Amino acid sequence: MSGRSPAAMRKKVLLMGRSGAGKTSMRSIIFANLIARETSRLSATLDVEYSTVRFMGDLVLNIWDCGGQEVFLESYFEAERDSIFRDVAILIYVFDIKSAEVEKEFINYERCIKAISRDGQDARVFCLVHKMDVVPPERRKVVFHAKESEIISRSRGLDTRCYPTSIWDETLYKAWSSIVYALVPNVEALGLALSGLADACDADEVVLFEKATFLVVSSRTRRSHRDKHRFEKMSNIVKQLKLACMGSASHLDSVQIANSRFRAILVPLTATTIVMIVTPRPGPAAGLCLLNAAVARPEFDRILLHSAEGGGAAAAASAAAPVAASEAGAPADGVGASAAADAEDSFRQDAAGGDHAVPAMSH
């Protein structure tokens, strides 16, 4: 894409917390395709590890993963204070629920809060109450809420969000999706465009994932569902599937999951996003959904480009016309239209309807 200003979209993300809290593990799972069990091989981060992650094409996250050993902390708060805490867009503070030094963690947290709130900086704070897998499931809610209250009371009034997390389940995706949601510009326009796509497909739900991380960027729901964590579970499952495919030198392009009650299609939408369209069964044809995704693609491209150029929600107004079932001429249950093939060259349709997932793979 031309005419954009890369510098305009750079955001500094500070990752802090005691040594061994799990900062590098999380970062590596989300952004570097590490799998959870491989994190036990990570060694302690020495000083600050910088990484640059391009997200949704034009949002560049400068992640400062700050090693949490005492010796480094002292330096962050003293000699390096200016460079570490200057221009922070987001502070992610990781609290290790296993830590025996609870008060010490809070004191360091308060020092971070103090450092980023000087000069009226407009940083957002996300606190991850991490390693929740070691807490018995029946106690997790209580343990988390107690920690959350204490964190909020020690945040000096800064806008602070807390999430329970573990690298072993979808909570990791929930928290990091919320973090990137705070950074992605033009989320309103993306939401509007998703609503249009959901209406056009007569879908129960449409979810937009970032392609590399599989974090949820935006979603629209037209019919309620009792599982609140279904999107993050999908992120987790599809990311694992993608990694398994990579392990066998294959490439995951798209997925269909269908049973007698619903069909979920995951298909690339733009160069940096994947959309999941969930429709009831019996219901609209898969081909119709693919066709509408193809029709909507330029609109999403425009919104994302517009975001990079600092535009507003108006980008959503220039929507391409959706395709109704009758116009598409698609068969009741199949991928029929040729434009649908354009939507995803290597998309493979599922066989006629049992409970299964069919990843399309190319070598």
Name the residues that contact ligand GTP, by CB under 6 A. 17, 19-25, 39-40, 42, 44-45, 67-69, 130-131, 133-134, 166-168
Contacts of 72 (CB under 8 A, 6+ apart): 46, 47, 48, 66
**Residue number with CB closer to ligand GTP (121 or 178):** 178
Q: Find the Cα–Cα–Cα–Cα dihedral 134, 135, 138, 141, rounded to 10°.
A: -120
Cis peptide before 322 (omega within 30 of 0): no
User: Can you tell me whether residue 308 is helix, strand or coil?
Assistant: helix
Regarding 45 and contact with Mg ion (CB under 5 A), the answer is: yes
Applying CB under 5 A, which part among 37-45, 70-78, 91-99, 351-359 lies near Mg ion? 37-45
**Residue number with CB closer to Mg ion (19 or 250):** 19
**Residue number with CB closer to Mg ion (45 or 236):** 45
**Residue number with CB closer to Mg ion (128 or 266):** 128
Q: How far is the CB of 185 from Mg ion (least distance, A)?
A: 29
**Residue number with CB closer to ligand GTP (21 or 187):** 21
**Residue number with CB closer to ligand GTP (25 or 349):** 25
Question: Helix 171-183 vs helix 23-32: angle between axes, to the nearest 10 degrees?
Answer: 70
User: Can you tell me whether residue 93 is helix, strand or coil?
Assistant: strand
**Residue number with CB closer to Mg ion (46 or 317):** 46
- 83 sits in which H/E element: helix 81-85
Applying CB under 5 A, which part among 21-29, 121-129, 252-260, 333-341 lies near Mg ion? 21-29
Q: How far is the CB of 46 from ligand GTP (least distance, A)?
A: 8
Regarding 28 and contact with Mg ion (CB under 5 A), the answer is: no
Q: How far is the CB of 151 from ligand GTP (least distance, A)?
A: 17
Position among 12, 17, 24, 307 found at the interface with Mg ion (CB under 5 A) = 24
- 21 sits in which H/E element: none
Q: How far is the CB of 230 from ligand GTP (least distance, A)?
A: 21
Q: Which amino acid is at 90?
A: I
Q: How far is the CB of 94 from ligand GTP (least distance, A)?
A: 6
Q: How far is the CB of 70 from ligand GTP (least distance, A)?
A: 10
Q: How far is CA 315 from the centre of its chain?
A: 22
Applying CB under 5 A, which part among 24-32, 91-99, 104-112, 135-143 lies near Mg ion? 24-32
Q: Find the Cα–Cα–Cα–Cα dihedral 296, 298, 300, 304, rounded to 10°.
A: 180
Tokens of 98: 């296993």
Q: How far is the CB of 271 from ligand GTP (least distance, A)?
A: 31
Tokens of 311: 């535009």
Q: Report yes or no: 343 and 286 within 8 Å, Cβ to Cβ.
A: no
C-alpha to C-alpha distance for 135 and 77, rounded to whole angstroms: 32
Tokens of 122: 């407009």
Q: How far is CA 325 from the centre of its chain?
A: 31
Closest CA to 112 of 142, 77, 62: 77
C-alpha to C-alpha distance for 65 and 18, rounded to whole angstroms: 12
Residues numbered 124 to 183 that lie near Mg ion (CB under 5 A) are none
**Residue number with CB closer to ligand GTP (98 or 141):** 98
Contacts of 71 (CB under 8 A, 6+ apart): none
What is the strand order of the sheet 273-280 is part of?
216-221, 205-210, 273-280, 262-270, 251-258, 356-362
**Residue number with CB closer to Mg ion (80 or 309):** 80
Q: How far is the CB of 80 from ligand GTP (least distance, A)?
A: 15
Q: How far is the CB of 259 from ligand GTP (least distance, A)?
A: 32
- Contacting positions for Mg ion (CB under 5 A): 24, 45
